[in-house]
Chain A
Amino acid sequence: MKKIDWEKMSKPIILVGAIIILSVLRPQSFLTANNFANVLWSVSVIGIMTCGTVFVFLAGGIDLSIGTLAGLSAITVVEIIDKMGATNASVIIGIIAALCVGAFAGMVHGLIITRFNIPAFLVTFAAQSVYLGLSMVITNNRIVSAREPALFTSIGSMKILGFPLPIYLMIIIALISWFSLSRTTFGRDIYAVGGNPEASEISGVHVSKDIVLCYVFSGLTAAIGGIVLASMTQQGMASTGSGYETQVITAAVIGGVSLLGGVGTVPGCIYGVVIMGLINNGLNLMSVPSTQSGLVQGVVIIIAVAFDALQHQDQSRKKVKRISEQIKGTASS
């Protein structure tokens, strides 16, 4: 019989454990298809953004600009709808423009980071302010409403088989990311670049080009996140998306992504995103007062991450023990 790989199983165990605990605590409301749709809907934007930004993390970088870039993209689409009139054509033009904004911003980040050799933290941190500032200037710090047309408002809330559209978008983007990272040369190169950029360069990987592409993808998913957010709330404003970068980083790290690069997977990210959604949903369903929810949220995240880390350590300890026994065995023979 094939031995169970506990290292791989720890995340599903935590997920199932969390679901069982919440089902027992809130049997009436938690374990329903509608509630699962709500959980996934509430984290879909973070999920979409995490699936793109994970490329940057894996390549050893960081993207702090995604929150305000999502805001700028949201404003781009709602401004175009507002100025051109609430027609389907303006929605399509708005979406294309917002995606271009995201991809272009990502390309600029990547080029500055690789050409000028400036730390990604600094570049994207500065870019964060630039996008917030741009959004403020464009909107004159006002809320731009987009309550129609239906083509736009349905992006964030239209239901297919009982599940809102953003959940499908998250799944599609997760599949694209997973495929690119695990089934293509580009994906393997990203892991190599994140693990050891010098060695990758020597072995013929186009490090700079790959890094730029990572930021383009990150910018693109930030833009998609922004469009979905604008549609969900039927508005765009300068502060739309602000702070999402922290949630994306948290989800990725919970999901086992190393901020040092080279380690992490897309399923891991989705796990991190869903765990965050479950914790939030659980707190809401159990009516935890807002004064305590931050505390409970933090403690639950630490417990989940510690449990996961413990499983990994256990496995590595066993591995070390096995190898040292093998060495001893060879030495004695």
Chain B
Amino acid sequence: MFNKTDCNRTEQGITRRGAIAAIASLSASALLAGCSGERTERTDSTANTGDTPTTTSSKIKKNPYTEDIKIAYVAHDLSTPNNQAWLEGIERECASWSNIVIQSFNGESSAETQTQVMADVINQEYDAILLQCSDGTALAPSVQQAEEAGIPVITINLDAATVHSALVMAVDYDAGRMAADKIADQIGKEGKVAIIQGVPGLTRTDNLERGFRETIANYPGIEIVDAQSAAFEKEQAITVMNSFLQNYPDLKAVFAINDAMAEGAALAAQSADKKGQIVIWGADGEKDALAMIESGDMAGTIYTNSWDEGSTAAKIALLMIGSEYSYTVLSETPQVIMEPIVVTADNVGSIPEEDRW
């Protein structure tokens, strides 16, 4: 269930552009939070003022670059490209420090498995946990337990329903919105559109779909005729797309909640001799989707640099380990939002090979 990685290998070059984007989006989100009056009030008791800290935080700080550090990465499903890219990003970030050990755990898409893993990780006194919650509500008690034990929890994309150290996420609602606008442009603002859904109930996927639907509503000529789930699976998406093609011969576009399903839909369209005739969009920006945009099978995707996202989460973890900063001062979880890039055939070439995960 777990893979151990000793991080004493050379760093493989995190993209500078991505890191800058993350910092930019961090400041942007801080600015946004400030504008909406949701900025977290930091109490004086936690402000570190140099040599004489007046903190009342019980959190013990460690030097993350010299002391022995154990970081747990609890994935939703390690076999997905996203989860792998995050893991690689985390490993690359920590690769220069041999004192840091990254241990990855596979949640096997199950909140129960993740809860058990969380209990083990807390018992083994890890220094930080990077978590992608299969179910934000089910994992909330585990996340709280970890934070209470002084272990900072940084969630990636899938949030926990309790206040914790940080959430690093790719845009979801906005990704749906951007895809909707682009699709509308590409089909001339009229025609039938269908959605291929993931597993219902996950915040990210629900928000993506909501963003898409609410934006499409601005185009009176476009009708969302159907929405079926393919459970994030490429193969199931082939079946779903076949039934769309069967039911709606005049279908203009399909928006799939993730790239794997968009790739499946593109394969079905290809097999029905409709390659390029139906505008197919995904969201994530994985390597194969970019290749399919290049070959004209897919029309576009919303790309996020997942390596950079993992690396950002790791950076925050190291920062937390090295500080007395405690989650107790927070009224809500602070967020870092990754830069989304709208990719179409026009600009797919601008995403360099080394940024394709």
Contacts and interface: CB of A to CB of B under 8 A. Distances in A.
Interface of A: 26, 28-29, 32, 34-35, 38, 41-42, 136, 141-143, 145, 147, 157, 159, 164, 229, 232-235, 237-239, 280-281, 284-285, 287, 289-291, 293
Contacts of A285: 243, 246-247
Contact of A159 (B84, B229, B263, B271): B271
B78 interface: yes
Contact of B235 (A26, A147, A233, A290): A233
A228 to B, nearest CB: 10
Interface in B72-114: 77-81, 84
Interface in B225-282: 226-229, 234-235, 238-240, 242-243, 246-247, 263-264, 267, 270-271
A158 B270 CA distance: 11
A141 B247 contact: no
B162 to A, nearest CB: 26
A35 B246 contact: yes
A29 B200 contact: no
B288 interface: yes
B291 interface: yes
B115 interface: no
- Per DSSP, chain B at the interface is helix
A160 to B, nearest CB: 13
Residue from B81, B238, B271 with most neighbouring chain A CB atoms (10 Å): B271
Contacts of A28: 247
A145 to B, nearest CB: 5
Given A32-B246, A157-B271, A284 B79 contact: no
Contacts of B287: 145
A94 B240 CA distance: 29
Contacts of B226: 287
Closest 5 CB pairs of A and B: A290-B229, A284-B243, A38-B242, A42-B239, A239-B79
A235 B243 contact: no
Nearest to A238: B79
Instruction: Give the bracket for the number of chain B residues in contact with chain A.
Output: 20 to 34
B79 A237 contact: yes
A331 to B, nearest CB: 59
A237 B288 CA distance: 13
Given A42-B238, A284-B239, 11 more contacts: A29-B246, A35-B246, A38-B246, A143-B288, A145-B291, A157-B270, A239-B77, A280-B239, A284-B247, A289-B227, A290-B229
B296 to A, nearest CB: 13
Contacts of A235: 234, 288
Contact of B267 (A35, A42, A157, A284): A157
Contacts of A239: 77, 79-80
Interface in B44-89: 77-81, 84
Nearest to B357: A142
Interface string B182-225: 00000000000000010010000000000000000000000000
B84 A38 contact: no
Given A229-B235, A234-B267, A287-B226, A281 B79 contact: no
Contacts of B200: 290-291
A29 B247 contact: yes
Contacts of A29: 243, 246-247
A29 B225 CA distance: 15
Contacts of B78: 136, 141
Nearest to A164: B271
Contacts of A237: 79
B224 to A, nearest CB: 11
A147 B270 CA distance: 13
Given A164-B271, A287-B228, A281 B243 contact: yes
A232 B267 contact: yes
A28 B250 CA distance: 13
21 contacts: A28-B247, A29-B246, A32-B246, A34-B246, A38-B243, A141-B78, A141-B79, A142-B84, A157-B267, A157-B271, A233-B235, A233-B267, A237-B79, A238-B79, A239-B77, A239-B80, A280-B239, A285-B243, A285-B246, A290-B200, A290-B227
A38 B239 contact: yes
A287 B242 CA distance: 13
Nearest to B199: A290
A290 B197 contact: yes
Nearest to A239: B79
A41 B272 CA distance: 13
A27 to B, nearest CB: 12
A239 to B, nearest CB: 4
Nearest to A282: B243
Contacts of B239: 38, 42, 280-281, 284
A29 B243 CA distance: 9
B242 A42 contact: yes
A233 B264 contact: yes
Given A164-B271, A234-B267, A235-B234, A142 B81 contact: yes
Contacts of A35: 246
A145 B247 contact: no
Contact of B228 (A38, A233, A290): A290
A34 B270 CA distance: 15
A157 B247 CA distance: 20
B307 to A, nearest CB: 13
Contacts of A293: 229
Nearest to A153: B267
B79 A147 contact: no
Contacts of A232: 235, 238, 267
